[in-house]
Amino acid sequence: MPTPSMEDYLERIYQLIEEKGYARVSDIAEALEVHPSSVTKMVQKLDKKDYLVYEKYRGLVLTSKGKKVGKRLVYRHELLEDFLHIIGVDKAYIYEDVEGIEHHLSWDAIDRIGDVVQFFQEKEERIRLLRDIQKRNEWNEIEET
């Protein structure tokens, strides 16, 4: 399995290729807010691990392994965003929260979170019931203080 840092790069490279059809070192550096030299080093590591093929000055292409991992990482990120939204986390915190937790969960945990998301998405009434519970709990906290 790739390291958390490798995952961040693979996720972003996959997204850039999906959005633009390509991913240049400069695009990756901008997206991840790192220096191009850092991107070049990581891309070389990913090349050695067979996640992509990198040719200096020519660009990079994800291998089938890299595409598979990249797609799964994007899925994980989007799933966690959906989950946090469903449970009522303020939009202002969701992206940073996902960035903070996504590398620390097992794929089994991700699959179970997927089940929970599906459970709520299948019947919108369940989300309303959750919001009712959250409002009751909010009022209980106010009354206790």
CA distance 52 to 63: 5
**For residue 140, pLDDT beyond 90:** no
Binding residues for Mn(2+): 8, 11, 77, 99, 102-103
Domains of the chain: which residue ranges?
Answer: 4-68, 73-144
**For residue 16, pLDDT beyond 80:** yes
**Across 86-112, average pLDDT:** 96
Q: Is 4-68 in CATH node 1.10.10.10? A: yes
CA distance 125 to 9: 38
Binding residues: 8, 11, 77, 99, 102-103
Query: Average pLDDT over the chain, rounded to whole?
Result: 93
Q: What is the DSSP letter of 49?
A: T
pLDDT in tens, 113-139: 999 999 999 999 999 999 999 998 887
pLDDT number for residue 10: 97
pLDDT number for residue 59: 81
**Fold match between 4-68 and 73-144?**
no
Residues 6+ apart with CB under 8 A from 27: 16, 20
pLDDT tier at 142 (50, 70, 90 boundaries)? low
**How many CB atoms are closer than 10 A to CB 22?**
12
pLDDT number for residue 141: 65
pLDDT in tens, 35-57: 999 999 999 999 999 999 998 77
Q: Classify domain 73-144 by CATH architecture.
A: Orthogonal Bundle (1.10)
Two tokens at 111? 């699959």
**How many CB atoms are closer than 10 A to CB 23?**
25
